[in-house]
Amino acid sequence: MSAPNASTAIARVLVDELARTGVNDVVLAPGSRSAALAGALAEHSGVRVHVALDERSGGFCALGIARAAGGPAAVVTTSGTAVANLLPAVVEADEAGAGLLVVSANRPPELRGTGANQAIDQTKLFGDHVRWFAELGVAEDRAGAPAAWRSTVCRAVAEARGVGARPGPVHVDVAFREPTVPASDDGRTRGEPFRTPLDGRADGEPWTRVTRTLAEPEPEELDDLAARIAAAPRGLVVVGETTAPPEPIHRLARAAGWPVVAEPLSGARDGELVVAAAPYLAAHEGFAASHRPDLVLRIGRGGLSRALGSWLGADVSQVLLDPHGAWTDPERALSGILVADPARACEGLRRRLDALGAALDPAWLESWREADAGATDALHAVLDATDAPSEPRTARDVAAAAPDGATLVVGSSMPVRDLDLAMRPRGGLRVLGNRGASGIDGIVSTALGAALGGPGPVLGLVGDLSLLHDANGFLLDAEAQRLDCTLVVVQNDGGGIFSLLPPVDHLPSEAFERLFSTPHGRDVADLARLHGVPHTRVDRAAALPGAVGEAVAAGGVRLVEVRTDREANRALHRDLQAATARALDALP
């Protein structure tokens, strides 16, 4: 490997080392100062380059790739506000524990603080939201420089993967002095040729290979927790967003005789132990009073259901399994945290329970199943009573219509909550969402990124405000048009979630409508035409599964619009609460 000048040299080395470490997808937001990086990306056969016109969308696209692929993806920008536009994606990656590698081009030191164009202070721009920050100064033609660049890339990728800590975003800032391109228009080499050898390891391996071993639970800790589980036949497993495989979790729950409450993003919402109507059960005074668990085992990041969180308060013994010791405890209710790989811990606990011969309480599990069946039957009866589209039914039917092997990217705010309330347990579907910081931004880009980063078709369930907020996500290069991504858009002309929150009862209707509901009056079909995306509008609830199936079968990026009414949705939630309460009241 060689280079005609210093900027080209460092860019080629960085890109080559990214590929060697397994970062094969890079989202590029074009710019002048990052020209050397763009050229190096175009030259390298081991990297897939995706071009985004908007840096904020590009950051979320890279995040979607990382979430779907299960490993870091990179986003490359020029200097100035281009880098600052990545903050929302960096914050989400930080909170969600997702590997996102930011590589920002920078002006050289002599141009900073001088009023030069696009020259800002990019040092630690993202503060504590990144796991690690590295600043690579202007490339120097000296022995040892390429090794330092390659070593920096290896550490950055390792930090993003969570070696020694929780996975998350990393920022590498690279200063480029002109010339930033290898040749001038007349074909002559620009700048001084870079003479120091640039090659990486001869075997094609990373400069520094970093291996990670998941936390192995201490036998004594497992012995103690298994004894507590065996002594608590009235227990509960609660699974939030996690990358842990579901099988060990369910095997442990079966050995303990405990029901499983699994949020949609858990990957564990399938099987005979799953309680789908948990938010309604927790909100029912009689059921909640008679079914307080003696012990709760929590896995992953939860928090979708306020009723469940309030019910499982500090007076209920709760233990969290987390591989990194993440303090996910907004209710301040945890009595313990076991820092261990959840899959290994669950297997170890199950073996110990089998050896202990723990006495199960079949009536405990059966009472949960009976209550869940009654509440879910009542819920679906209400949803199916009319053919007018509703938001919970839309969520339910989209999840059911997704083919096996698909990925469903669900928006924050109401879509993920509707999914939690109405999704029937099923396997063969991966559900992803930006629930780290729970913003509505970047969801279109995240869905398209998931389609770039993972196998199988991708569906998205998003609100109209989320769609409008990230419409620039469609401004990926032509490659994106070949993706298989069907976005189902719930169009209620505003922010429907606020109709279910306290402000609706404390403001005059006109003020509430303007300040919270924020009706926009935009037509989704017009937006689809602007971006050249095929669009279908569904006016009957029964027609949605067919429309989704046709869109998925046709392939490409497509929009399916479902019109709903915010006031009708508020009334529907009251009806669902009442119907499930009546069903639970009728239980013996």
Task: Provide the pLDDT for residue 480.
Answer: 60
Residue 325 has pLDDT above 90, yes or no: no
Query: Please, which pLDDT band fits residue 283 given cuts at 50, 70 and 90?
Result: very high
CA distance 433 to 442: 10
Whether the domain at 219-368 and the domain at 384-585 fall into the same CATH topology: yes
pLDDT digits (tens, 9 = 90+) for 122-131: 999 999 999 9
Task: Provide the pLDDT for residue 564.
Answer: 94
φ/ψ of 448, rounded to 5, equals -65, -35
Contact 452, 67 (CB under 8 A): no
Helix residue ranges per DSSP H, 357-485? 362-383, 391-401, 414-422, 443-453, 464-469
CA distance 141 to 146: 9
CA distance 368 to 378: 15
What's the distance, Cα to Cα, between the start and end of the chain in Å? 77
CA distance 226 to 351: 9
pLDDT digits (tens, 9 = 90+) for 181-199: 886 655 555 678 899 999 9
pLDDT digits (tens, 9 = 90+) for 140-156: 999 999 999 999 999 99
> Which residues, at least 6 apart from 122, have a Cβ–Cβ distance to it below 8 Å?
79, 83, 104, 106, 173
pLDDT digits (tens, 9 = 90+) for 424-455: 999 999 999 999 888 889 999 999 999 999 88
The first and second tokens of residue 200, run together, are: 């990486």
> Which residues, at least 6 apart from 112, have a Cβ–Cβ distance to it below 8 Å?
119, 120, 121
Query: Please, which pLDDT band fits residue 519 given cuts at 50, 70 and 90?
Result: confident
Nearest-5° Cα angle at 87, 459 to 22: 65
pLDDT digits (tens, 9 = 90+) for 160-183: 999 878 999 999 999 999 888 886
Task: Provide the pLDDT for residue 478.
Answer: 63
- Between 258 and 165, residue with greater pLDDT: 258
Task: Provide the pLDDT for residue 189.
Answer: 52
CB half-sphere exposure, 90, CA atoms < 13 A: 25
Task: Provide the pLDDT for residue 516.
Answer: 75
Residue 513 has pLDDT above 80, yes or no: no
Sketch the domain layout of the chain as residue ranges: 6-175, 219-368, 384-585
pLDDT digits (tens, 9 = 90+) for 97-124: 999 999 999 999 888 888 888 888 999 9
The first and second tokens of residue 124, run together, are: 């630690």
Q: What kind of architecture, by CATH, is found in domain 6-175?
A: 3-Layer(aba) Sandwich (3.40)
Does the domain formed by 219-368 have CATH 1.10.290.10?
Answer: no
- Integer-rounded Cα Rg, in Å, for the chain is 26
Q: Which helix (H) or strand (E) holds 431?
A: strand 429-433
**168-177, 354-363, 458-467, range with the lowest pLDDT:** 354-363
Q: Which range has highest mean pLDDT (11-15, 325-329, 500-504)?
A: 11-15
CA distance 211 to 205: 13
Task: Provide the pLDDT for residue 198.
Answer: 92
Q: What kind of architecture, by CATH, is found in domain 384-585?
A: 3-Layer(aba) Sandwich (3.40)
Nearest-5° Cα angle at 161, 160 to 166: 85
Residue 442's closest CA among 87, 147, 50?
Answer: 87
Residue written as token pair 């590997």? 99
- 146-149: long-range contacts, CB 8 A cutoff, minimum separation 24: 146/9, 146/13, 146/196, 146/197, 146/198, 146/199, 147/207, 149/10, 149/13, 149/14, 149/17
- What SS3 state is found at 422? helix
Task: Provide the pLDDT for residue 496.
Answer: 66
Q: Which helix (H) or strand (E) holds 535?
A: strand 535-538
Query: For the chain, how long is the longest CA-to-CA vector?
Result: 87
Residue 556 has pLDDT above 90, yes or no: yes
Residue 159's closest CA among 171, 173, 145?
Answer: 171
Query: Please, which pLDDT band fits residue 504 given cuts at 50, 70 and 90?
Result: low
Which three-class secondary structure string do you get for 372-394?
HHHHHHHHHHHHCCCCCCCHHHH
The whole-chain average pLDDT of the chain stands at 93
Query: Please, which pLDDT band fits residue 260 given cuts at 50, 70 and 90?
Result: very high
Mean pLDDT, rounded, for 200-221: 89
Mean pLDDT, rounded, for 8-32: 97
Amino acid at 550: E
Task: Provide the pLDDT for residue 345.
Answer: 96
